[in-house]
Every structure is written in structure tokens, then in C-alpha cells.
A and B are shown apart, each in its own frame.
Chain A
Amino acid sequence: QLQLQESGPGLVKPSETLSLACTVSGGSISSSPYYWGWIRQPPGTGLEWIGHIYFTGTTHYNPSLESRVTISVDTSKNQFSLKLTSVTAADTAFYYCARHYTGWSLLYWGQGTLVTVSS
């Protein structure tokens, strides 16, 4: 069974860079025909797609975040990562990593990690 686990700091200062990693177990990123993505959810509100990556490194980003986002993949570690620069309080959210499935649905999800932006 494929499992995803987010890791990274739970507190980031305003104007700094948020960095998270998603470690995949139970399957190989490089053998999957599907994209791997990041989604966030401010507490008590809805879901926002950040972007996704293929094992070859091809990425697509949400235009609303594109200027601040980088998603990368490290197949040797079976991980993919998120960097979000110049964060503000509006970036406080639960961050989920996930794997796509048929029709660009999202079948496998990490448990999520709360990142708070505060000084």
C-alpha cells in the first residue's frame, strides 16, 4: 500500500521560505505513471492546489502561487519537495502531499502537516 509522509518545520517566520518534503513508501516515484502533488488547506477553509511534478521533473503550478513556488523530485530518496518563498500569515495552512490517479484525481494522500507563519 502506497504511503506518503510530509515532513518539515511547523513554524516559519514571515518573509522566509517554507520547505517541506514528502517521503513515499510502498512504491517508487520513478516507476509511477502519475504525477505527485502538493495541496494546502488553511484551517477551517477549503482546499487549494499548489502544483505537481512528474518523476522526470516536469512541473505544473497554480498561477496564483507560481512566482513563489518550486516543486522538485529526488528519485534516489523517493521524495519530492515543496519550497514556497516570501511567506506571509496567509500561507498558514495544513500542507498535504498526494499522488494523482485516473482523470487527475488524487488517490493517495499524506496525513498533512500544519505550517504556521508567525514571528
Chain B
Amino acid sequence: EIVLTQSPGTLSLSPGERATLFCRASQSVSSSYLAWYQQKPGQAPRLLIYGASSRATGIPDRFSGSGSGTDFTLTISRLEPEDFAVYYCQHYGGSPPLTFGGGSKVEIK
């Protein structure tokens, strides 16, 4: 089973600042199968990034993903008020289980 470890657990930033979130896999994975989600209270997760770096339809270009092997990054270039939320990474390479990271919360400083 691939374990995904996200850091930091909580990031306290102000609107307009840059957010950098990390996702580390317990073993090397294909970047084709690494995704990022945003979840706000009371809502279902929303797909932001798939294939490690491709933005889903309608996702603003301030969100970007990068990485390979075991280390992946989600960057929000300039935080907007609506970006304060919890972010999850996810991997599935075709063999169960599909796994999620534990989440990183971006909160207003």
C-alpha cells in the first residue's frame, strides 16, 4: 500500500501570500496517478490537479502542481479568500487501495 504523507498539517497565511503544500509517497509512484483536491466545510472534495500537474477544468491558474517519484507539491501562487480550505493528495496506480493523504489545512493568519 502506498502511504501518502502531507505536510504541513496546517499552514497559516494571509490573502495574497504563496502557499506551498507537500505530499510524500512511501515509495516511488507514477506522476500520472497523483491528484490534488480542495475541500471546504460541508462540501465534497473538488478536483484541482490530476496527473500531478494538469489543472482540472475551471481551476484558476494560481493553482499548480509539480513533482515526481516520491515528492509532489501543490502551489497556490497568491491566496484568494476562497482558497482557505483543506487540501488532499491522492494516488491510485491500478492496484487497491486508492489512498489519500491526511490533508493540509490552509487557514487565515
Query: Which residues of A come within 8 Å of B, CB atoms?
Result: 37, 46-49, 51-52, 60-64, 96, 98, 101-107, 109-112
Contact = CB atoms under 8 A, between A and B. Distances in A.
Interface stretch (B10-18, B19-27, B44-52, B70-78): B44-52
Interface string B75-109: 00000000000001010111011111111000000
B47 A101 contact: yes
Contacts of A47: 45, 88, 90, 100, 103
Given A47-B100, A49-B98, A62-B96, A109 B44 contact: yes
Contact of B44 (A61, A62, A101, A112): A112
Nearest to A94: B44
A38 B48 CA distance: 19
A60 B44 contact: no
B100 A102 contact: no
B32 A103 contact: yes
A105 B44 contact: no
A63 B97 contact: yes
